[in-house]
A and B are shown apart, each in its own frame.
Chain A
Amino acid sequence: MIKSFCTVLVMCLWVLPLQGANLKPYNGSDSTPPLKLVDLQGKTHNLDDYKGKIVLLQFWATYCTPCRKEMPSMNKLLRKMQGTPFEILAVDMGESKTEVQAFVDQVKPEFTILLDETGQSIAQWKVFAAPSNFIIDVQGKIRYTLYGGVEWDSPELISQLKALAN
């Protein structure tokens, strides 16, 4: 009896985090804030140049435990979205290049990591928690947001993202 109860409890705990993984329609300002930042190789990325692609823009930090946990699922998402115009831009929130590089060497994200040491974009995008995610459509408009760590390669999220390409 106790064993069955524990099994059910474990299953519930396993399923619960995925239930909250739906993207929220964005109700903020109509205009998309600017974003122009450098990556770890020093290359400048301008969000305007990503028009025509769906962009997952994430604000994260190395000290954020859910950010670290969900990064492998973001790698999987990138692979599962192959054939769809899709990019992930992950903006580190105010840490040094050295700190971020050490994290990247360990966790090995396969997507673009951007640095914002001054926090300028964090203020412009009104980010107050991490991970904070914005889903931007092919026209460059913010369509959805999501706060907190999730399994990014879940079928529900993938179908929501793919729907934006149509």
Chain B
Amino acid sequence: MKRLIFQIGHFFLMFSMVLLAEAREIRLFETAELEVEVRVFPAQGDVLLLGFPCDEGKSNAEEKTAQSLANDGIEVWMPDLLSAYMLPKIKSSLGQIEDTVLATLIDAAMKTGKQVYLVASGTDTQLVLRGAQHWEADVENPALGGAVLLFPRLYKGEPQPGIKPEYQDVVGATRLPIMLMEGERTPNRWGLMDMTNALSQGGSPVISKIIPMVRGYFFKREDANRSEDVVTSQLAGLIKVSLFYLNQEVPHD
């Protein structure tokens, strides 16, 4: 009997893995100088989430979240920018990704006619801001829905004790509505208000929230604890709530 239950469970597991694999498409986007491979999790709804994970084309938690969002009607695009540039997965690689490429991807997403939101985490959040700034500069009526920044790390250098941190130049340079989320169990939570103010300098409405009981980068951690596993499993829900809040910030006709 136990063996039968195990076999049935195994069958359903394999079946769901096949479904998951089939739900994802790879599309190529050509910019002036390079081809960017984009993992697309298609959906019929009118919302598109463009994520910038610098993950060399593989990130477990983000892909599961993307699939879950797609199942709920939110299309997700995840361009693999590091591979497009043949860059290693290190912080300094981000500076070599051109703003024009980021803006081209935003433009392609906008051309679907869906309401587009941007998302990134950690140091990758600078790509969202740079892309949005470049794209906003080129269009008359920017209509991006907003951006979700998960535990953004946007300091210029290491934060020195006793001195207000300096942010990267792109911070406060866009008008994009921003939802900022930070873990409770990270020293960065104490800089949340300061970063909120810095991000809003360019006219962005910024909402900031603390996610209780998790550390920064919680969904990328190999040593994730129970509460971090639970929040990671609910990440799609968190993003949907963020999009709801951002939607309140966008002027409607």
Contacts and interface: CB of A to CB of B under 8 A. Distances in A.
Nearest to B193: A123
Contacts of B185: 61, 63
A26 B158 CA distance: 15
A101 B169 CA distance: 41
Interface centre among B155, B161, B164 (most CB of A within 10 A): B161
B83 interface: no
B162 A126 contact: yes
Given A63-B215, A128-B194, A29 B187 contact: no
Contact of B187 (A28, A61, A126, A133): A61
A146 interface: yes
B220 to A, nearest CB: 15
Contacts of B65: none
A147 B164 CA distance: 14
Instruction: Please classify the interface of chain A as helix (H, G, I), strand (E, B), loop, or mixed, using the class held by over half of its residues.
Output: loop
B162 A29 contact: yes
Contacts of B215: 63
Given A63-B215, A128-B194, A134 B187 contact: no
Interface in A114-146: 119, 122-123, 125-130, 132-134, 142, 145-146
Interface residues of A, number: 28
Interface string B87-128: 000000000000000000000000000000000000000000
A63 B188 contact: no
Nearest to A29: B162
Nearest to A24: B160
Contact of B161 (A29, A123, A146): A146
B196 to A, nearest CB: 13
Interface residues of B, number: 18
A155 interface: no
B190 A145 contact: no
A27 interface: yes
Contacts of B194: 128
Given A63-B215, A147-B158, A126 B163 contact: yes
A147 to B, nearest CB: 6
B165 interface: yes
Contact of B162 (A28, A64, A93, A119): A28
Contacts of A148: 158
B161 A127 contact: yes
A133 B160 CA distance: 9
Given A64-B187, A94-B190, A125 B162 contact: yes
A59 interface: yes
A29 B164 CA distance: 11
Interface of B: 155, 158-165, 185-191, 194, 215
Given A63-B185, A128-B155, 6 more contacts: A26-B162, A63-B186, A63-B215, A93-B190, A125-B162, A129-B188
17 contacts: A24-B160, A29-B162, A61-B187, A93-B190, A125-B162, A126-B162, A127-B161, A128-B159, A128-B190, A128-B191, A128-B194, A129-B158, A129-B159, A132-B162, A134-B161, A145-B161, A145-B162
Interface of A: 24, 26-29, 59, 61, 63-64, 93-94, 119, 122-123, 125-130, 132-134, 142, 145-148
